[in-house]
Structure 1
Amino acid sequence: MKARIKATGTIVEVEGLFDVGTALVNGRYFKVSELDFLDNFETIDWEQRRYELAKSAMQGYCIALGINDDSETYDDIAIGSLRVADALIKKLKGK
């Protein structure tokens, strides 16, 4: 699990949590109150996020291009929208 050390802002990997309110980070013990845990990032449903991003991108394309009922155009926009979503997810994951 990842955490941010409050005093320095450094992101670290937590190696262990203990009942006495301490966490082991890089061989050093911290009080849990000295850390901000970043577990939300690891629980993101990336498939759901991909869907949401692609949906937003497709809406933007359709509005910007003033699309009519040409199904071939929709197919191209869907492919482009998925590429946009994949690129955004890649950046969000820091890759």
Structure 2
Amino acid sequence: MSNYFVYCPDCGMEEYDTIEKRDAAAHDCIQHHLNDGWDEAVDQVVAGVITSRATQTDLKKRPPDSEIDENGEDEHGSDWSGDFEFICDYKMIEVAA
């Protein structure tokens, strides 16, 4: 899993597994903004360390149709009226250094 990133307004966000790759990419992004002069967006290029990621939690698989009532709910009141195969939540989870 990548722990470093570079964001460029023209190219979006890219992730890297080493600081050296991140720094080289950041340099390339900065150079991308040099034409006859500096593009005003150059100061929007940023590099950093990823400390947390949105991570799927509390996964609950769809119960059999026989366990879903006429309102689309299961015995716990979860809404399955759509074609969902599962429901879940997402939380920011700290990544390992």
Q: TM-score, normalised by structure 2?
A: 0.31
The answer to which structure has the higher strand fraction is 2
Instruction: Determine which structure has greater relative contact order: mean sequence separation of CA pairs < 8 Å that are 6+ residues apart, divided by chain length.
Output: 2
Q: TM-score, normalised by structure 1?
A: 0.32
